[in-house]
Amino acid sequence: MSDISPNRLNDALTRAPSLAALSGRRTEFAKAERVWSDVLEPELSRREESRKATIRAAITRSIIGAGIPIFIIILLMISTLVSVDIISPGLIFLVLVSGAIVSATAWVKVFTMKSQTKQLILSAACEPFGFTYDTLHPDLSGIVDLKTLASRAKELNAAYSGKMNSTVNTPLGAINMSSTNGPDAPTPAFEILKTVKLLPGHSRLKFEDLISGERAGTRFALVEAKLETGGKNSKTVFQGILVHVEYPERFLGRTVIARSGWWKRGRYSGDLKKVDLISRELEEAFTVYSTDQVEARALLSPDSMERLIALERHFSGGKLRGVFEDGHMTLALEAEDQFEAGSIFKTLVDPRRYASALVELGLVCDLIDGFLTRDWVQGRL
């Protein structure tokens, strides 16, 4: 997604352990050093010079584009002796528009390179777990000039019209390709959370970074979502991770969990009753409602809750909430962009890009394992 802090990306890589340190932590990490040296490092090294050249071209064209209206204004001032306010809003707007037009295709190439780098690194990180990864980005690799940019936009609009609202994030902003109905959700999590009122109202949505596979004998899918109000004063009302995990058996009731002080709809949700948790600390941190008190307490043991908190802490997220019902656990966590594999403005040949992705995937596995491998799960549900 587009609203990402470079500092947060840098911090994520700084915190990443070395591949050597990771290799002994879990069986999926055992070949991490070999994957880096044999697969990722050679390929990223091959792309590094292209990255530098692509970014240089984009910056140069931005400067040239922004300088064109200023140069024209200066010539007019010299030839007509008419004074013009250089910092006027109108001129600033012209500078921005000119810079965007001249550099548009160059920044699309930067975006494409960033997307391809994410796909390479996250796919490699998912492989030892048996997971699959998809950026969910449209293919913009064939865009070389304004003509092909316009042509490609028409193709995307024709392809997605009536099916989904394809929103493409570029350095020039978000390009909305279709209707306001929104894209087809890549996992059931979105509709489930919306139904139980755990997502805010919105008029636009987009998805990115889909990770799916099997773990602990069950299927799961994780995706990043961004919800916006739309209109002239559009604002982001949710940005974070949606997690959907299928259970081997159906739950006996419905249990809803949320960080205390945020969610208050539970008391108005039919036969849901407030659950008193075993731990006083967890009781103060979370609000839990359920139709089955016994099941809810068994499900949300201190160990399981700690795994939820660890997920929240690692992703620097907040307002964790979710629902356990029928045969699924579905969670939402507000957080800045995750699974970014580092900044495109930094060298690609950095093993911490790969290490950071492995750590994030390992944490997701820990969460699923904690809820699905306990004895009571097999015996009760």
Q: What is the pLDDT of residues 2-41, one digit of tens each?
A: 444 455 555 567 778 899 999 888 999 999 999 999 999 9
- The Cα 292–Cα 295 span in angstroms is 5
- Look over the chain and give the mean of its residue pLDDT values, rounded to a whole number: 79
H-helix or E-strand spanning residue 68: helix 41-80
pLDDT of amino acid 90:
66
- Summarised one tens digit per residue, pLDDT across range 231-276 is 777 888 899 999 999 887 788 899 998 887 766 654 446 688 888 8
β-strand pairing of 328-334 with 236-246: antiparallel
Q: Supply the pLDDT for residue 31.
A: 95
pLDDT of residue 10: 54
Question: In the predicted model, is pLDDT for residue 307 greater than 50?
Answer: yes
Question: Residue type for 218, please?
Answer: T
DSSP secondary structure of 296-364: HHHHT-HHHHHHHHHHHHHTT-EEEEEEEETTEEEEEEE-S-----S-TTS-S--HHHHHHHHHHHHHH
Predicted confidence at residue 45, as pLDDT, reads 97
Instruction: Give the DSSP H/E element, type plus range, for residue 211.
Output: strand 204-215
Give 86's pLDDT tier (boundaries 50, 70, 90): low
144-194 pLDDT, tens digit per residue, is: 777 777 776 765 654 443 333 445 443 334 444 443 445 578 889 999 998
Tell me which amino acid residue 312 is: E
Contact 317, 332 (CB under 8 A): no
The residue among 24, 18, 53 whose CA lies nearest residue 36 is: 18
DSSP SS3 for 76? helix
List the single range of 85-89, 196-200, 212-216, 349-353 with lowest mean pLDDT.
Answer: 85-89
Neighbours of 8 (CB within 10 A): 15
At residue 161, the pLDDT reads 39
Going 198 to 201 to 207 to 209, the CA torsion angle's sign is: negative
CA atoms within 13 A on the CB side of 374: 17
| Helices and strands (H, E) in the chain, number of each type | 12, 11
What CA–CA distance (Å, rounded) separates 110 from 168? 14
- CA dist 358 and 373 (Å) reads 21
pLDDT reported for residue 180: 40
